[in-house]
Amino acid sequence: MRIGILGTRGIPNRYGGFEQCAEYLAVGLVKKGHEVFVYNSHNHEFQGDTWKGAHIVHCNDPEHKMGTAGQFFYDLNCIRDARSRKFDIVLQLGYTSSSIWYWYWPKHAVNIVNMDGLEWKRSKYSKKVQWFLRHAEKWAAKKGDLLIADSLAIQQRLKAVYNRDSVFIPYGAELFSTPGESELKKYMLKPFGYNLLIARMEPENNIETIIRGSIKSGDEKPLVIVSKTGNQFGQYLKTQFAQYDKIRFVDDSYNKSFIDNLRHYSYLYFHGHSVGGTNPSLLEAMACNALIAAHDNVFNKTVLGNDAFYFKNETDIAKIIDEVRDKRDFSQMTARNCHKIVEQLKAYR
């Protein structure tokens, strides 16, 4: 089959969860004999025509000039191109800026929509944009030929709100089995001598809450924050907490070996995502034997169950840090999380 994958900034992944999904899925579908086309932003650092067997289609993306509004025109450019390629299937990852064009989706293809999280809850959006995103969710839910939910909570919402059935396809991860302490030397970190947070600089990821809770705890271990800090929120946090030596910002890195080792050797791994579905980075932390403290919401609890600590505010975070005096005391929790990763891979292979 000819399959087009739309809705991401492109592969190889240099951004986030949907990009990672596109990367792994494209390679897997190619291995199964399908002809796969992945749409990339024209300014993605990878400028080749193929990547690991998948065709790369570069489309103009004016987001760097127009801001968020540019995403809508990027999606339109991708959809316009897809209409001429006679795809059997068009997979759209997310609905935020593509569902407005539902009337223009390729008519000859099966349009599959991997529904996003609760995007309309993101505080970075104005009330008008949040109103629009509620409608965007509805358009995608109503107009998609087939819906995919990466979270049971999202699947339940689609049925309850839109009376649409969906296919639950959770993300997966590979167990990390090659730890190496040498990866930590670059940032002068000691194994299990730091806490870790990996997230995009968005308020909904509770980064400021985690920082304040870490400071409030009085714990001497540094909090290492891996993220791109070039946006307004990132610059605000760097300025706001510049006087605290224990708060260390590390430029975002897509060196998987480095990131996995950071996760593996962390004392506590904080996962503050609050409005999405299942986040791939959470599964990867589980697969790295990280001891996880996650934001208290249905998405995270569906994945982690009782094998994590949960927080709602900075006081909760301070209490968790105080409670975890020795990571080894919670080895059963990390072992069960690794087991979940293994069982999920078995179930969907």
**Residue ranges matching CATH 3.40.50.2000 in the chain:** 2-168, 181-348
* DSSP H or E stretch at residue 339: helix 331-348
pLDDT score recorded for residue 346: 61
- Specify whether the CB–CB gap between 166 and 115 falls below 8 A: yes
- Specify whether the CB–CB gap between 115 and 17 falls below 8 A: no
Angstrom distance (rounded) from CA 151 to CA 146: 16
When the candidates are 3.40.50.2000, 1.10.1740.10, 3.40.50.150, 3.40.50.970, the CATH number that belongs to 2-168 is 3.40.50.2000
pLDDT score recorded for residue 224: 97
Selection from 165, 175, 96 nearest residue 134 by Cα: 96
Contacts of 49 (CB under 8 A, 6+ apart): 55, 56
Tokens matching residue 243: 């006087």
pLDDT score recorded for residue 8: 93
**pTM (two decimals):** 0.82
Residue 129 pLDDT greater than 80, yes or no: no
Q: Token match 């990339």: residue?
A: 40
Concatenating the DSSP letter of every residue in 92-157 gives: EE--TTTGGGGGGS-TTSEEEEE--S-GGG-TTS-HHHHHHHHHHHHHHHHH-SEEEESSHHHHHH
Angstrom distance (rounded) from CA 283 to CA 286: 5
* DSSP H or E stretch at residue 212: helix 207-217
Tokens matching residue 44: 């993605």
Size of the chain in residues: 349
**pLDDT (average), residues 271-299:** 90
User: Does domain 181-348 fall into CATH 1.10.1840.10?
Assistant: no
Residue 235 pLDDT greater than 70, yes or no: yes
Q: How many Cβ atoms sit within 10 Å of the Cβ of residue 245?
A: 7
Q: Token match 């749409």: residue?
A: 39
Bond prior to 62 in cis (omega within 30° of 0): no
- Specify whether the CB–CB gap between 176 and 285 falls below 8 A: no
- Specify whether the CB–CB gap between 70 and 88 falls below 8 A: no
200-214 per-position pLDDT tens digit: 898 889 999 999 999
Question: Could you give the percent of the chain with pLDDT greater than 90?
Answer: 66
SS3 call for 167? strand
Average pLDDT, the chain: 90
pLDDT score recorded for residue 345: 65
pLDDT score recorded for residue 117: 65
71-88 per-position pLDDT tens digit: 889 999 999 999 999 999
Tokens matching residue 289: 């034997």
pLDDT score recorded for residue 136: 84
pLDDT score recorded for residue 97: 76
**pLDDT (average), residues 234-251:** 94
Amino acid symbol at 214? S
pLDDT score recorded for residue 212: 98
pLDDT score recorded for residue 111: 96
